[in-house]
Amino acid sequence: MLLYTSLLSQRKMFRLSHSNPLLIYMICSKCKKDKPSSDFYKRPERKNKPQAYCKECFNIYCMERWLDKKKKAIEYKGGICVDCKGKFDYYLYDFHHLDRATKEFGWHKMRLYGWNRIVKELDKCVLLCCMCHRIREHKIGTDGGT
Ligand SMILES: [Zn+2]
Ligand SMILES: [Zn+2]
């Protein structure tokens, strides 16, 4: 009871189901569909407050944001592979850490951070296409990099 009354006071978009009073419906602010609250992620930083986007829309939204960040990161690193000087589509590029000892995180983690933190990590990397990346790793004899 307490949970949904507090949720109700937070947002106007909540609606209670008549057939099941424990089921809370929310309107996704992206696709505008009426969905049960289980179709929404909880925000990690504020535990009981769900995302305004449904899971489906939120996933798409994240992917788009990560994609934008990757494109921006590629641009930041000069937009060409440092080894073959080739220009490729974004999904063929990797960020290769020159010194594994300084590596804090790879792109999969990097993309979750704000731009300033990403840049700090990118400064330890060179931009390689996936082919050249594979060749470098082969030479180093580790599976390192990304
Ligand atoms: Zn949605
Ligand atoms: Zn290359």
- Written as six digits, the tokens of 115 are 């731009």
- Written as six digits, the tokens of 43 are 């925000």
pLDDT in tens, 24-78: 888 999 999 999 988 999 887 666 667 789 999 999 999 999 999 999 999 999 9
Question: CA 100: distance to chain centroid?
Answer: 23
Whether residue 106 lies inside any domain: the answer is yes
Residues in the chain: 146
Residues 11 and 41 both lie in one domain = yes
133 Cβ contact list (under 8 Å, min separation 6) = 94, 96, 145, 146
Q: Compute the distance from residue 107 Cα to the ligand 1 centre, in Å.
A: 27
State residue 134 phi and psi, 5-degree precision: -60, -40
Q: Compute the distance from residue 25 Cα to the ligand 1 centre, in Å.
A: 12
Ligand lying nearest the CA atom of residue 34: 1
Ligand lying nearest the CA atom of residue 57: 1
Residues 6 and 37 both lie in one domain = yes
Q: How many domains does the chain have?
A: 2
pLDDT in tens, 96-137: 999 989 999 899 999 999 999 999 999 999 999 999 999 998
Residues 87 and 128 both lie in one domain = yes
Residues 94 and 134 both lie in one domain = yes
Please report the beta strands in the chain, taking only residues with DSSP state E, as ranges in sequence order.
Answer: 14-16, 24-27, 34-36, 93-97, 125-129
**CA dist., res. 118 & res. 70, Å (int):** 10
Q: Please say if the pLDDT value at position 93 is more than 70.
A: yes
Domain that holds residue 87: 74-140
Whether residue 145 lies inside any domain: the answer is no
Q: Compute the distance from residue 108 Cα to the ligand 1 centre, in Å.
A: 24
- Written as six digits, the tokens of 84 are 């073959």
Whether residue 63 lies inside any domain: the answer is no
Whether residue 16 lies inside any domain: the answer is yes
Whether residue 66 lies inside any domain: the answer is no
Using DSSP bridges, classify how beta strands 24-27 and 34-36 pair: parallel, antiparallel or unpaired.
Answer: antiparallel
